[in-house]
Chain A
């Protein structure tokens, strides 16, 4: 019988698995991303342009929902996974620790260090070694609905937390919420919180140590508490699904949410959902808290990395392709092809030459507010255990949003969690 099973398996393997065998001299690369199909199409076009110049290198793009992306990268570490993956900078330290991503060759790391702004290049490196080529950078700002502002008689977007609460109070009428808070999605919860905290002069982590026990952090938790207690925000209108869409987006699109702190990348989602009404959306700096002196924000970047389990020839081809894709020769007007793809989604490119090439486009009203926030933005802390830290803080903030704990308890839990998570990630 065992023999029978074997024959059955062999026959099955022969029929089903054949398509995966590639001719020896050719290199087949797979590029994993979470982008939407229209964007994937642009990437595929760029990839075929590269293949034309480099016959023998075939590149296929695989897209999975954002919620599955990290798991897919993690489980793909054994060599059969994607050759190239697009990752969120927060994930890099652990991927490096587990040996899943390949260090960049000297030529690539030299280019990253010289052609990208220092902070962004730093997020693509661990202990001085570059592992990825940065592409998009996202920053947070306050988006507000001008039509709703006009209706409520508010002349300008809020500059301070006091003005924020005022505006939120005026906007919160019959079923509408003045200020939207996102839940059920870690970055959507934690990044706006961190932006407000930064604008209050605080930070989540400094020198690898959590700073959530500060007075500045407490004030931020208390801001949330007030917003909830006064009914300026309705958590039920802020849920998100595995694809970082859902009610929070729907409610802002349909004019049920007056203000929300979000990142620039959602421009394409807003445009698609609002049509002509998109012109009503304004962008303003994050309001400044009582202990802060200036509007600050949080940024995070994405990068492409190469699977350490891939064959040497594949790795070499992958880096060559990425260097081309992110380099000045692949796009128009000295921009990279990558920057062109990102701009189609309203995402900010990060390579210095790309920013220059797209100067005009970056000045459009919605994006301008974001671009100007970049100056005073801090990178979201990239540390070992970062994703878990982010998940834990998300839970604490959501408990606060739903009135399950007080601002003090939230602060205590958040700090204790963070200490334990960062300590555990080191051992």
Chain B
């Protein structure tokens, strides 16, 4: 144990750089995923059959083919097909974004449909434009519903980032694996790595709880400060993870 930790603390800059790659991939992947979630989620509610169909096909495609295969396809097959090489981090961000964006679009679709019909009708009755209706009435309510399942998807995304190690991006897993190889302390290395991911996941959960509190306050629903500290709730975890598998989100 001593060997690993003395090596670990002697090489903290390496740890930071690996941690940074992991955080970068998580945050950028989440931004791409969020954008795609909204794009495909809105498309799924479109009046036009063609638009709905396109979104359905894309979403089912990215959910049905495994993330692992998508990432490897981008990293190994894409350069061959298009004679253009992508950096590992870019591959990761695109694959995570597409995959979790597909799952997220179901969350967006479900949340939009969960806003009571009366709210839509009232906005129409008040002569709001479709953009006003969405921005001022529907989205603020739907957004609150989206945050818990989005939190779960975000943690899933974080948990997928060690895949970067397999495509030679120097993420946290890569760095700690190297330290394990140098010191031969397998158990301590992997335990430390898992604990670091656990801390990252918990920190992300806390941030998302803050976001949820803020969104609820905007609707006039106040939450206790204690609820900020809770981990992902069992119920929303189940919903999100099931939504991830089937698309019954929200």
A binds B: no
Hey, which bits of chain B sit against chain A, CB under 8 A?
none
Chain A positions within 8 Å of B, measured between CB atoms, are: none
